[in-house]
Amino acid sequence: MSQRDVILTLQKVSKSFSGLTVLDHLSFEVRAGERVALIGPNGAGKTTVFNVISGAYLADEGAIVLDGQDIVSKPPRARARMGLARSFQNIRLMPHLSVVENVMIGQHSRARGLADLLTPLWLTRNRHWRQEAEERLRSFGLDTYPHVVTSNLPYGVRKKIEVVRALMSHPKVLLLDEPAAGLDPRETHDLQEFLLGVAAQGVTLLVIEHDMSLVRGLCEHTIVLNFGRKIFDGPTSAVHEDPQVLEAYLGPQDAEPARRLAVGGG
Amino acid sequence: MIVLIVQQLINGVMLGAIYVTVALAFNLTVGILNFLNFTIPSVFMLAAVIAGAAEERGLPFGLSGPLSWSAALGVGLAAGLLASLLVERLTFRYLKTRYGDATEHAIPLVSSLGFLLVFQNLARLFFGTQPHSFTSPIADANLRVSGLIVSAPQLLSLAIALSIVVAVTWILRVTRIGRALRAIAENPDATLLMGVDVKRIVPVVFALAGVLCGVAAAIFAVNYGQVYSGMGDEIGNKAVAGMVLGGLGSIWGAVVGGLIVGVAETLSIQFLGGDSVQAVVWGLLLLALVLRPEGIFGHHAIGKGKL
Amino acid sequence: MSGYFGGVIVILSLNVILAYAIFLPVASGQLNLGGAAFQAVGAYTAGFLSTSYDLAVGPSLALSVLAGGLVALFFSFIILRTRSVYLVLATFAFSEFVSGVIVNIDALGGSVGLSVSTHISGTVVLVAAVIAAAIVLLFMQTRLGLATRAIHDDDLVSELMGIGVRWTRVIAFTLGGLLAGLAGGLYAFYFNFVDIQSFDAASSIYLLLFVLLGGTQTFWGPLVGAAFFTIVPELLRSAISAAPALAHALGVTGELDSSWRFIILGALTVAMMIVRPEGAITRIGLSRLQAALFPSRLRKRPA
């Protein structure tokens, strides 16, 4: 693995809510172009990590550096403009906007100046926005109903639309929160292929997932969180052998036999 | 000069008693249900106007002749209670949040605005815009304390308002229903899960608000000797100002805010003339919203809909 | 344009402009309970400049638009620092405050009112309404218009997508103020009399409610709301005036004229909030209508 530059760093990031510590001096690095999985038992703080990186919450302490710039005190929209994008665990599309419109919202951080903001989108100079959105939807097989309001579409479709929306900002780092949740094995495989393609274009992926097949197929690097602390940070292939990880998922009594099984199997 | 100011302060505090009671009604609904119930000023007016009509003409359909002042006040109170429960039945009960977007959180508020228009204009249709007098025997008893005039009704009103505040605080803190109400204010979902029948308890808040409006109406009728259909607009609305000044969701906020508005009103009448009241009171509120929107005792839990 | 029919067209035009003035903040998720107050700012500006300084209609109208916009800009910029529930209360406080202040200013006619000598024709008002509607339509089709609608649905995610939520809300509110100022100026020059009672809190509430009932998801909703709640009262007016005997029999003593208009709107509001709170015209409804009328795959998106 060639030595790539670090694109995202968290340094001793902590976050508490009403006295409950959710993130505890968390530190990790992500290199440019990497595909990193962020896993851990429920309640480990994974979505909170995303919220703190994207700016939905402000970290109580610690540093967050994106592409060389400290973003820990920057407002969310500045971080979006710097190349950060995300999808959400409970799909958060705008219910009253159409598919195309939702996707075009993702482009907003690329809009520059009054001309981009205040001229009607059907003018010739602005047509490229829509065309790009429709093209992306087509490549994802979602072009059947571009003008339908999203609130009535099926779950799997809305999940994919959210990912397309996140891609519209041409992000450097893409945070995906359980992108495969609710997808069947075939759809999950399609998603994996799609995301590999996205990563091949230079986008760094940080993925929260419970589906281990997707994690193994997509991410070469895995970080495991438990109770807001990092308990593993290394190659995905080594995760299932790590004693701390096993204990976190299975509990101390069951960890020992599982470990013996894992070492023997694969 | 000092005597003048103190006299106006006394008058203001007495007027404030009315504002406090209505502000409390408003505040309870906001604090527990996160619902800005704009109907409340008009419920206050309805209670007063119906009490006035009951004293003048008796109950409808000739059930009895003109009623005595205390019975009429009771009828007014009942009217306030019923009106408030009607609002609950047709607004809050139907709230279904599907998307959690901005408009949805405002649905009960919008409904309450609809009710406001209906109540206000029904009153205007049936009772006209002119004041109706309301006579009560205690209206003219005055006390003189070192050059200051304190009327018996004013003193009584203040006593009533303060006892109501104490009573409401006691209800919320000690009784089972009160604790359920506070639980709903904190976390409606958890309360549901713990087996509290939220659907049966929410009407209690509305009933309480209605009764408070009825009491405030009674205080007004006895103190000022008249009622009119514009009362909600001119007086009830200012109670809203008092509530916001004191802090949304805070009982003591309602008390302090209501008293501040009462005093501001009488002082500005004395020194700036009767026409200045509206500008002063609402200007004060705007200033407060700019400098310290959560009011004196308010907290930040008020915001997007909880229930 | 004259006569009864012309008068209705003028009122409709003014209501359309006001409807869009309220629609813009509401579309961004902010209820505005002070619409009539911003209109009053425009009306009194135009009236005052015209009577005291003999300013011509054109410049007076321009300044009334500007006045409405500036006050809205100042107001929303300061108030939008806080949570949105306070904006509703602040707009309500503002409408009461404006009435309270104007009543005391003799140069503006105080409680009696201000006469305005220059008269404009109904056609001017109608043309202004059409232009105003066109501007709003165009705005909603820009990226900023899209951002406005996004904020209404989910302001947190909008912020995460790079939208400046507070700024967009201020802009929407200010544009609304400009339109309300225009409506005020036109009112002053058409009716030639400006009195504060026409711009009271009840008027603001009436305005907000018919916009919400028309529907704030699309451009067409406010238009429908304004049309319905201007025309239907006029139709009912003739019916009501033919039945005073019935009213007296029911015990009605007060004036019939404007009260029933508010009662109908109020009752309809309560009903609509129960059965169809998103208003008469919705995006989904419009899509279905278009699908029924133009059943081809390549159909234009609803406005």
Specify if C303 maps to a domain: no
Percent of chain B with pLDDT over 90: 23
ipTM greater than 0.95, yes or no? no
Please judge whether B101 and A95 are an interchain contact, meaning their C-beta atoms are less than 8 angstroms apart. Answer: yes
Q: Which of A79, A93, A96, A153 to mutate to test the interface with C (most CBs of C within 10 A)?
A: A96
Contact B102 C155 (CB under 8 A): yes
Confidence label for B176 from pLDDT (cuts 50, 70 and 90): confident
- Report d(CA B141, CA B24) in Å as an integer: 28
Cβ atoms of C158 and C147 within 8 Å: the answer is yes
Please report whether residue B277 resides in a domain.
Answer: yes
Phi-psi region of B128 (alpha: psi -120 to 50; beta: other; left: phi over 0): left
State yes or no: pLDDT of B77 exceeds 60: yes
Q: Does residue C299 lie within any of the structural domains?
A: no
What pLDDT score was predicted for residue C294? Answer: 77
CATH 3.40.50.300 range(s) for chain A read 1-83+171-266
Residue C146 CA to residue C143 CA, distance in Å, equals 5
Which distant-in-sequence residues (6+ apart) come within 8 Å of B45 by Cβ?
A: B119, B120, B123, B217, B229, B230, B231, B232, B233, B235, B236
pLDDT of residue C302 exceeding 70: no
- pLDDT of res. A105: 95
Mean pLDDT of the B247-267 span? 88
- Pairing, β A69-70 against β B142-145: unpaired
Helical packing angle, C57-79 and C35-53, nearest 10°: 140
Report the distance separating Cα B241 and Cα B261, nearest Å: 7
The pairing of beta strand A84-86 with beta strand A6-17? unpaired
With beta carbons under 8 A apart, name residues in chain C contacting A86: 160
Residues in chain B: 307
Please tell me what DSSP assigns to residue B67.
P
**B122 assigned to some structural domain:** yes
pLDDT in tens, C222-260: 999 999 999 988 887 777 666 666 665 555 554 556 788
State pLDDT tens for residues B209-236: 999 999 999 888 888 888 888 888 888 8
Task: Write down the pTM of the prediction.
Answer: 0.89
pLDDT tens column, C144-194: 999 999 999 998 999 999 999 999 999 999 999 999 999 999 999 999 999
In sequence order, what are the beta bridge partners of C160?
A: none
Domain of residue C264 covers 3-293
Q: Is residue C117 part of a domain?
A: yes
Taking residue C294's Cβ as centre, other Cβ atoms within 10 Å add up to 10
Which chains would you list as touching C if contact means 3+ CB atom pairs under 8 Å? A, B
Query: Is C132 within a domain?
Result: yes
Q: What's chain B's Rg over C-alpha atoms? A: 19
Q: Which residues pair with A76 in a beta bridge?
A: none
Q: Smallest Cβ distance to A81: which of C156, C157, C162?
A: C162
CATH code of the domain containing B165: 1.10.3470
- The CATH number assigned to the domain holding C178 equals 1.10.3470
Give how far A95 is from chain B: nearest CA, Å: 7
Decide if B13 is inside a domain.
Answer: yes
pLDDT tops 90 at residue C38 = yes
- For residue C298, being part of any structural domain is answered with no
Question: Could you tell me what percentage of chain A is helix, strand and coil, using 3-state DSSP and rounding each to the nearest 5?
Answer: 40, 25, 35
What pLDDT, in 10s, does the model give residues A141-176?
Answer: 888 877 777 888 888 888 889 999 999 999 999 999
Alpha-carbon distance C149 to nearest alpha carbon in chain B (angstroms): 11
Interface probe for B, chosen from C83, C97, C206 (most Cβ of B below 10 Å), is: C97
Could you tell me the two tokens for C183? 């409506």
Which chain C residues are Cβ-neighbours of A92 within 8 angstroms?
154, 157
Kindly tell me if the per-residue pLDDT of B62 is higher than 70.
Answer: no
Length of chain A: 266
Give the minimum alpha-carbon distance from C118 to chain A in angstroms, rounded to a whole number: 36
Distance from CA of A122 to the nearest CA of C (A): 8
Task: Spell out, as residue ranges, where chain A has pLDDT lower than 70.
Answer: 1-3, 252-266
Q: What is the pLDDT of residue A1?
A: 43
Task: Give ∠ CA C173-A105-A87 in degrees, rounded to 5.
Answer: 125
Report yes or no on C31 lying in a domain: yes
Secondary-structure breakdown of chain C: helix, strand, coil percentages, each rounded to the nearest 5: 75, 0, 25
Q: How many CB pairs under 8 A join B and C?
A: 172
Residue with tokens 């000023």: B41
Q: What three-state secondary structure class fits B101?
A: coil
Total domains in chain C come to 1
Query: How much is the pLDDT for C266?
Result: 93
Distance CA B143, CA B138 (A): 12
Domain that holds residue B108: 2-291
- Total structural domains within chain B: 1
Strands (DSSP E) contained in C119-266 are: 193-194
Fold of A1-83+171-266: Rossmann fold (3.40.50)
What's chain A's average pLDDT? 88
- pLDDT value at position C299? 47
